[in-house]
Amino acid sequence: MTQATNQVVIFLGPPGAGKGTQAERLAAAYGLTKVSTGDILRDHVARETALGQQVAPILAAGQLVPDDILVALIRDRICTMEPVRIIFDGFPRTQAQANALDLLLEELGAPVSAAVLLEVPDEELIGRIVERGRQAAAAGEPVRSDDTEEVARRRQEVYRQETAPLIEHYQRTGRLTEVDGTGTMDEVYARIEQVISTAR
């Protein structure tokens, strides 16, 4: 494994900031594997696996899944990748997860290339999440359990308490870049791409 071919990007930002949408687009453009712990966990819930049954009430309440569960999922997902070309959407979310990820990436010789923080005002975030639920319902699709105003506000509060300290963590490493997450998807993507294209 040569370090030159490794690229690890972390997306930070509150629920509804658009991390998932932008991560998929960047993954396709840069040959990165998008890893979303939320997607992995929701898949387990949908398939009613033992893990899914364990985390379903946690997700429905807008709380954070225990660190040990998420770290194990991530380790299993990336430990065989060579080279390590990955974009994390929604992970890490706590200081303990960030520390565990740092250790894992050190083992793999693939340090974080860039940490992108999408900044969006709170009320716009709530509006986006509620609208996502409305659109899913109108289309006859399943509405995510966290796409309600009550749960969305609770998730914002949890984010501020648990995840915001990660901003300082990645600032200390010199890898953090704040990006304005408002505007059209293309406008936000252009801002993020400017960061990723120069991060190695």
Distance of CA 57 to CAs 16, 49, 62, 87, 130, Å? 20, 13, 9, 27, 20
Whether 37 has a binding-site annotation, put simply, is yes
What is the Cα gyration radius of the chain? 16
pLDDT of residue 149: 85
**Residue 93 assigned ligand-binding role:** yes
Q: Determine if residue 64 is labeled as part of a ligand binding site.
A: yes
Q: Is 52 annotated as a binding residue?
A: no
Give the HSE-up count for residue 10: Cα atoms under 13 Å, Cβ half-sphere: 28
Q: Is 22 annotated as a binding residue?
A: no
Residue 20 known to bind ligand: yes
> Mind listing the pLDDT tens digit for each residue in 53-107?
888 898 888 787 888 888 888 887 888 888 999 999 878 988 889 999 999 999 9
Taking Cα atoms as reference points, which of 98, 94, 163, 122 lies closest to residue 17?
Answer: 122
Q: Is 65 annotated as a binding residue?
A: yes
Of the candidates 146, 183, 5, 134, the residue with the CA atom closest to the CA atom of residue 62: 146
Residues 15/128, Cβ–Cβ less than 8 Å:
no
- Is 174 part of any known ligand binding site? no
Q: Is the Cβ–Cβ distance between 193 and 119 less than 8 Å?
A: no
**Per-residue confidence (pLDDT) for residue 200, from 0 to 100:** 62
| 85 appears as a binding residue in the annotation | no
pLDDT, residue 1, reads 36
Asked if residue 90 belongs to a known ligand binding site, the reply is yes
Query: Is 132 known to sit in a ligand binding site?
Result: yes
Q: Is 18 known to sit in a ligand binding site?
A: yes
* Domain architecture of the chain: domains with CATH: 3-193 (3.40.50.300)
- Spacing of C-alpha 134 from chain mean position: 22
**Per-residue model confidence as pLDDT tens digits over 147-197:** 788 888 888 888 888 777 899 999 998 999 999 999 999 999 999 999 998
This prediction's pTM: 0.79
